[in-house]
Amino acid sequence: MAGASLISNAIDIGLRKTHYSYYAEWNDLYNSRINADLLIIGSSRARQHFSTKILDSALSLNSYVLGTEAYRFQMQYNVFKMYLQHNRKPRFVILSLDSYTLHEDKNPYYYQQFLPYLDDSMIRQAFQGYAHEFTVSDHYLPLYKYRGERTQIIVGLMEFLKLKKYPDNAYKGFGDYDLVWDHSFDKFEVTQQKGYNIPADKQDINEFEVFLNYCRQNGIVLFLVYSPEYIPVQKLYTNRDRIIQYYRNSAAKYSAVFIDFSKDSLSYDKKSLLSGYKLNKFS
């Protein structure tokens, strides 16, 4: 048991030092290295649409992206609260929006990114209700949380033993990609001839408005930004106009700024978008 505990701690320490994958951003957050003037939060669209290099240069600010890929607003809001626990309050916040922001998907993407931080009660709270919830065994049995996690074990031990230093593939949370259209949207579109309605979840709406009110009361200038999205994607959402109007009304109610780029020329260009949602590097 003592040996397992030592190995588990070594993996934790290694992952808490590495730049591999999303650990770079988590480690910056937990080590209070962000302290952004401008904080960008959202899903992978935040991570791929908001260049911190350009923002820093153009605005003379310290910007940083915390984009939780494939997660919706509940997790995004929890990440924002974790940020505030370890870093100073930002002057400006951009919340990257899309039509799914307020509709939860409880299948967690890459939950392994949270493993070295399970001693944080906010992580436990954030995962309540997800299909993969961390158990008592994950929290307290040495090595149990790393069962079957070969990549995390190798990366953690390699970093701990100083045998390898993994590079950071993102710049202050911004990761750009130069890929070709993969036709996944084309295949999906064929199955959705009638379109579909995207519900907004009550808990998400409540927490969204709590977040908006927090920013207003704490003097944070908040921008709600809907970045480019492929026009045929937009046409599939039968209630998209109502979603956009809700964002616009909420911004007005809570003294935020709503900016809608979804009709920008990039939204008509396949070469600029990956699967209809994410901007390419050359855009």
When pLDDT is averaged across residues 18-36 and rounded to a whole number, the result is 96
C-alpha to C-alpha distance for 229 and 279, rounded to whole angstroms: 8
* Residue from 147, 138, 137, 173 nearest 63 by CA: 173
| Structural domain boundaries enclosing 158 | 2-279
Place of tokens 């260049």: 51
pLDDT, residue 165, reads 94
* Residue from 21, 41, 24, 44 nearest 279 by CA: 44
Decide if pLDDT at 129 tops 50.
yes
Select the more confidently predicted residue: 125 or 29.
29
Whole-Å CA distances, 190 to 61, 193, 230: 44, 6, 16
pLDDT digits over 204-250, tens only?
A: 999 999 999 999 999 999 999 998 888 788 788 899 999 999 999 99
pLDDT digits over 133-180, tens only?
A: 888 899 888 899 999 999 999 999 999 999 999 998 889 999 876 666
Decide if pLDDT at 194 tops 90.
no
Total length of the chain: 283
Place of tokens 């080590």: 31
- Strand ordering across the sheet containing 38-42: 63-67, 38-42, 92-97, 221-226, 257-260
C-alpha to C-alpha distance for 73 and 131, rounded to whole angstroms: 16
C-alpha to C-alpha distance for 139 and 23, rounded to whole angstroms: 19
C-alpha to C-alpha distance for 12 and 17, rounded to whole angstroms: 9
Decide if pLDDT at 280 tops 60.
no
Which two structure tokens, joined as six digits, stand for 32? 């209070």
* Residue from 25, 39, 119, 128 nearest 84 by CA: 39
Quick one: how far is CA 105 from the chain centroid?
13
- Please say whether the beta carbons of 76 and 95 come within 8 A: yes
- Please say whether the beta carbons of 15 and 155 come within 8 A: yes
Place of tokens 């944070």: 220
pLDDT digits over 65-93, tens only?
A: 999 988 999 999 999 999 999 999 999 99
Whole-Å CA distances, 199 to 50, 101, 207, 224: 27, 10, 16, 19
CATH code of the domain covering residue 116: 3.40.50
pLDDT band at 283 (very low <50, low <70, confident <90, very high): very low
pLDDT digits over 89-124, tens only?
A: 999 999 999 988 999 888 888 899 999 999 999 998
* Residue from 145, 148, 26 nearest 75 by CA: 26
Beta bridge partners of 226: 97, 260
pLDDT band at 132 (very low <50, low <70, confident <90, very high): confident
When pLDDT is averaged across residues 32-39 and rounded to a whole number, the result is 98
Domains identified in the chain, total number: 1
C-alpha to C-alpha distance for 65 and 176, rounded to whole angstroms: 12
C-alpha to C-alpha distance for 103 and 205, rounded to whole angstroms: 9
